[in-house]
Structures are given as structure tokens and as C-alpha cells.
Chain A
Amino acid sequence: MRDTFLKTLCDLAETDDRVVLLTGDLGFKVLDDFARRFPDRYFNVGVAEANLVTISAALAADGYRPFAYSIGNFPTLRCLEQIRMNIAYTELPVTIVSVGAGFAYGSLGISHHATDDIASMRALHTVRVVSPSDLQEVAEYTEMLLTETQPAYLRLDKDVAPDRKDVACAPDGWRVLDVGSDVALLAHGGIRREAEAAALLLRNEGVSVAVVSAPVLSLFDQKQVESCISNQRLLVSVEEHSVNGGLGSILAEAIADSGSCQKLVRMGLRRFSHEVGSQEYLRRVHRLSATHIANEVRQGLDSL
């Protein structure tokens, strides 16, 4: 996802001289192409995330379109209040980019697990939160964010689900990738791959499964989102993020707002992860693999 983002950003910077890339001293080698092609619009501010986002805000106030790049929780939680004061309240078009969503840096430990970022970012009223699940979404949303005028948070995973060129991306909506009538699996980030694998298992058992990609996690079109989940008796959210404040919470809120009586199962993290291991391993530990998802669906359907 990171490489697709940077390639897209370089292409955009070629024709749009408002694009500026700032990094908090992260992105070894991968930022070189941008830095070489646009040296006047590339800044490594050092290991200083508060300064990173506040400087980005000031550049945006002068008409630039800054992309503030770092990894994990550093450009979000570390400087949450600076984002609130200088970017969100002021409604400036800064895009905060974090590489290493969820357990992407699993073995590096808790400091590098980005599992509460969406909850924090989407609490800020003006910030558009985007968590792509495939490369097509990465490219299209990067481009879309540049055409919009609001703050944004772009969360980039290491794992990716396969592209689905047949289903369009909307700036403020979700994508129904597969239609089904028994259950809808909704996911954001690369873990959508696990949801799709679970859907395959279930279809082999005769279950009719819808799969929805939910890359836009704030400021979405409420009606469009409701249309993605209506007519489903069972909704299952799958995300490599805390169950508090992520997609699961969004669905709970949507159900409450619409007054429907759908059953919702929220799959995500219910505690911090002290275990050491790869993204795939930690997914299994936290019961987020395809097998676990399929099991949850079976139990959910049984309980209806």
C-alpha cells in the first residue's frame, strides 16, 4: 500500500505544485523518489511529530496540500491535540498518512501496534478517515483526498486484499463487493482478505454472504452506508483495530440511528496485545483469522 501511495503521490505532485510531503524521519528509501523529483516540496522535520503536523497545518493555511507521513501511532495519537487544534478545528486540508496499520509491525511490539487510531481520528468532526483495503482504493482515495478541501487521515496497511476493479470507489461511501442475503461481512484494511476467505468457506456450506469494503470511516454518506447494510439480518464487522470506536462502533451507531433490529457481531481487538509475532500470527491470537470469522458467522446465524 505504501509504495502505491507514494507512486500516486509522485504522479499527482508532477501536475499539482501544491503537493508537499513531510516526514517525521521515517520512510527509509521509499521517499527517495519524491525527494529527488520535488526537492523543494519535501521536508524531513526529524523525530518530532507535534512539529510535523503543526508545520503541515501552517503550510495548508498558505494554500499548500501537505501530506504528513509517519508510521504507527506517531502521526496520530502522539500529536492528537495538535491535530485537533491546528488541523481539525481550522479545517485545513492536511492529509496525515500512517503506514503500518493494525499489527503490520506486529513483532515490533505494542508501541508499533496502530489499533486505536481510527477511534481517535474519527472523533474529530472534520477529519475524513480512510482505511483502504486494496491497492485500487489506495490510489483512488489518495487522488480523491487531493480534490477535497478537508483534513484527512489515510491509514495504510501492509497486507492487501485483491483489487476489485468492477466495483467503483466513492469519495464518501462503501463498496458492496459481493451480494448475499444471510450475512454481511464488513471490513476495512488488508484484513478484508481474511473476510473474503471466510466468505468462501461459508459459501461452500450454502450460506449466502455479502462482502462490503468500508474504506471511509467518517464523514460518509449515511444513506449510502445504510443501503449497504439494510436487508441483512446479521452484520459482522472485521477490523484490525479496537472494537471501541472503529467500524464495529460505526455499525452499532448506524443501527441505532436507523432504528433497525439487526444483529451485529463486532470482531476486532478487545485488549492490548502483549504477544510477539507477525501480523498473521497476531490475527490468530486475537481470533481474527478467516476460520475465526467463519465460526463467528455460524454462531451468529444459529442464534437468530
Chain B
Amino acid sequence: VSRRKHWFDANVKKALADDALRAAIADTTVKKMASRAAAIAQVDQFQALRDLAARIKQHTIDHLDGYLDEFVRRFEAAGGRVHFAATAADANECIVRIARDNGLTLCAKAKSMTTEETHLNEALEAAGVRAVETDLGEFVVQLDHDRPSHIVTPIIHKNRATVARAFVRELGAEYTEDPEALTQIARRYLRDVFRRCDMGVTGVNFAIAETGTLCVCTNEGNGRLTMTRPRVHVALMGIEKVIPRMADLAVFTKLLSRSGTGQPITVYASLIQGPRRADDPDGPEQLHVVILDGGRRAIQAGPYSQVLRCIRCGACLNACPVYRQIGGHAYGSVYPGPIGKLLSPLLNDLEYFADLPQASSLCGLCLEVCPVNINIPDVLVHLRRDQVKNATVPWSRRAAFRGALAALSSPWLYRIAQKAARWFSALPAKGEWITRLPGPMGRLTEYRDLPRPAAKPFRELWPLEKASRDSAASQVPMHVPHPDPASGAAEQRELPPLDPAVIRRVATDADLVSIFCARAEAIGFRVTRSSPDALGSDIAALVGRKKVIIEPSLSCRPDVERALAGQAEWLDPQAGDAAMFATDVGITGVRAAVAETGTIVWSSGPDLWRGLSLIPPMHIAIVRREQIVPDLLDLFSDLPKTELSANTTLITGPSKTGDIEGILITGVHGPGEVHVIVL
């Protein structure tokens, strides 16, 4: 009985026949691999950093219950509610119940692979809650009743023309193939959803045990809107998302988007510490986290727990030569590519997904690019071993291997086999090459010619070679050890310390202002170096005659108001949504800034509107030079030392997407123009 799965062969055949699909995937994955290589080159200690990341994650997985308990305790202490779900169905039921209990009807969804895994949208729709995907790629997928084919770039299998057709058909938009214009169509449509939604669902990138904080990393700004606008924010995470310390984020944020998209850090990294506080002017009233097992406990307890280190960066998909040929849908699962070849059988069953561990050349490029050192080829080989043990390998293959083993175990049988192969290959051969083999062997020559075994194998040539004299010259050998292979799944007893020599990219005594300004420019901020005297006029020059909201507590507010008197139109944020959505410019202060990445850090509080740095198309942030810290390591080490705001957001560049053909578009859902004024 052959255990090959018809569905997989059919999917592969379909993908291989689709030249446009393969061209689209090759184009985008090659681009992403090039950006990754450039981004990795910025990290001197990349190998040590990913080794550290692997050890932190493995340690957490090896001690999961303790860290989960700590996370839950702190999350609840911050005012959040925790729900545990054993299965995907339990998770959906729980989220539907939250919607029912609160009378919620319109759900904005940020991109989340875990909600794809549970098929949450269908469950919400069945319960009468309209769920709208707000990530550009996922939005197109939903309009097309399709499935994402990549965990980071969901519409890698589509091009601008397919997006254009979906927008014409489903939204009544005018046909355009301009990615910029297509993005604006999505923005306008989803603005309305963001104004009206009462429920927001997101995934979670990291859940920090030490503080009970959720970290959600996004690029377009839809994720921030999803966590800001609705009354109720529900986050769905797998149990493996927990990390011990806030400072661990320095390690993981440096690796996550460098590996996936080649960015130094995602545009937005939101740290969520409970629901909005009593004196916060906006933000969700309720915060729920649903913690999903869904088969992960079984992985954790088994021999392949390293698979749970995965941070879903997508690098292995971009690297994989098989993914490049067959695309994501062929894998028949939410998780495609190399990591999907492990997750799909391990989370579900090895019988149904029997082809996935087999359909790999074991090239190992996935291991080389993995930011947490998951030894994917090694786990694949061991899943194959499990298949042999469970007898899910066809008897014919077993017989072939047993027979080959017998022949290879005896030098004289081996020689007879060699000779026999030489003789028999004379029949179908033309010269030294075979172009067509008969019968079931024919698959070996379906696509390429096969060489005949040589007339004389090396072992018959050896006696002659042996007779010739050895050279008089003598090279003195160096006694060197082999390079260490990538670390496997070794158990981690102790939580590894965060070695600054490995993590830090900007020294504490560096010229922070210059570095910050240069890197902020590089990631797309427009930087103005100003002074308290010039601040008013500098801002006036940027704002012109636009509608403006300024944070009331900013100390420079009177100067700015004076400088803008008579030209800008001042809106009052207390007037609510109407004002926020009508405003052209939001002017805010920051809590901190990071020289390493050119990041500005905003945090919520009394009179500090989350929407102000998010909803208006232009954001002006005022940074005082003493607020600049050298490195993400400093930021994440310092944050837990004082009380965390309900929302702290790292902003690194204007809102952006690369969902359509990997082309970079700015100003998707968040501001497309961000000015940073350094005092």
C-alpha cells in the first residue's frame, strides 16, 4: 500500500503548471532573501545572537508552566482576562462568547496565523459577528475567499492584477494596477471599519512573563488600530509565545523582522499592559488573552520541542527551494514551507501529512536562516524515522532499503551489484548515458538522462594508482577541529544571561544624537534638528494650513500655537472620533527614542491619545536629546523599572506594506509621513 497522498501530488502538479505563480514567488522570495542578507550583515554577532535567542526560547519551552503561570498572574494583575483553550474549537468558542457577552457585532482583525489555524473568521461569522481582515494581504485573501500562502506575506501568490480584479469585483472600485492606488482603496474601505468596529482581534508575537505584557509587531498600522479603536481587544496566542523577560525583546526584535523582511525592527512594536486606564482618553475597555494549546503540549513533551522556538519570521519559507517551486497552498495547511513541514504533522497527524517530511531535499538552508536555530532538516529526518517505525512507509521502499543494505554490507555483493548495473545498463543506454528506462524505473529518466556506471569503478583502478610512487614533498598538516554544527535541541536548565557584548549594537558612550538622526532618516522618518527657540517656526513650516491636534501636555505647546496662529486649524481631541479622523496632523511628544534603530517610543497616559500618532496622515514627534537611549537593549531593560503604561508603542518609520509583489508602499493605515524633531 502506498502511503503517498493524492492531495499533495495534485497540489504540486497544479503549482508546477502555474508559471505565473512560480515567477511571483521566486521574485518576492529572492527580494526578501537579499534584504535579509543586508539586514543580517548589520549585526556583528549574528550567530551568537541567534544562538542566544535559541537558548532563551528552548529554556522557556523546557520550563513552560512556570513562565506561563507568571505571565497569567501579571497579566491579570494589570486588568486583563485570561482564557485557556485546549483545542482550536475551544479557542473559537471562547472568542465567540466574549463577543456575545458584550454584544459585539463588527470585528477588526489584525494578521494572526493562530486565528488562521483555528479558522476563527468562520466561527465569528457563524455567530453573527462580521470579521474583517485589515492587513492588506489578508484583506485581499478574504475578498477572494482564498487562504494565505505565506506566514508573513499572505498574497505572495498573487500579483497586482489579481488584487485589482478583487477590488473591482468586491468593492466596486475602479480598475487600477498601481500598487499605491490599490493600497489607498483598501485604506479608505478599512477606515470605515476602524471607525465602527467594537471588537479587535490580534495575534501575539511575544508574551512577557516578568511583566504580563503582550508584544504585537506589525508594519501597516492596522494592528495598532485594531488594538486602539474597539471596546474589546482579544489576543489569541499559542502557549509557546511566552518569553521570560522584557529585556529578551531586545534579542527577538533584532532578529524577527531582519530575518523575515530585512527590516531592523518592525515599524510598530506595541507593548500592551492591560486595558485602558481610567484616565486614558482612548483604548479598549477590555483586554482578553486566549492561550491555545492546540497540540503544542504534545510537541513540548516530545522529542521535537525545538519546533516551538519558532517566532514565525518566515525566513525559512523565503529560503526554501521547494517552497519556491510549489508555493504555500501545496502544503495543504495553514503553515507552509519548511517550518510547516514540521508543524503540520506535529500539530495534526503524521499520517495525513505523510508527504511533508518526505518532500524535502534536506538542503538545510532553512536551518541556516532560522533566527532561533531550529534544526529543521534534522527533525525532518527523525519524522521520517517515525514513519518507518509506524509503518507508514510503503513496503516497497522498505524492501528496497533492506536489500540495498544487504548488498552494501558485503564487499563482494557490492562488487557484483556494481558489475550487474554496468552490464544491464548497456541495454537501454546510448553510449555512456541512458535516456529512457522501462517500466516503473522510467520515473528516473522522465526528466533527465542518467549516467551508466563506469566501465571500471575506482576500486579496479586503485591497484595501478597504488603502484605509482608517492611524492617526496611533504605538507605538514594543521591539527584543526571541525567547525561546530548549529546547536540542536539541547535542554537549557538555566535562563541564559543577556550578554551585552552579543546584543548591543550601539555603545553607551556613542554620539547618540548623530546616530539616532542618521538611522531615523534611513528608515523613512524626516528628521529636523531644532532648538527650543526655533521649534515653533520649524513646526509651522511643516504644518502650513492644515488641521492639527497637539497633545495638551506638551511643554512646547504655547510656542507651537503662537507660531501657527492664523494659519493652522486647531481641532479639539475631546470632540472625539470626528476630530481625530478629520485631523491632518498629530503632534506628540515621546517617552524615549532609540539611536540603534531610529525608533521613537510613545506611551499612553492622561491626555495622551493613542490615535494621535496613528490616525492622522502626518505625525510630528518631538524628541528631546536626553530621551535618546543607545540600544534596544537599554530601552527594554529600562522599561520595567518604572510602571508601564497600558500601551507603549515603538515606532520605526512610516506605516508600510510590501504585500503587493513585495513593492514597498508607505502610509497604509498609519501615518505615511512622520517628522521627528530633535531638540
Pair from one complex: no
Q: Which residues of B contact A (CB under 8 A)?
A: none
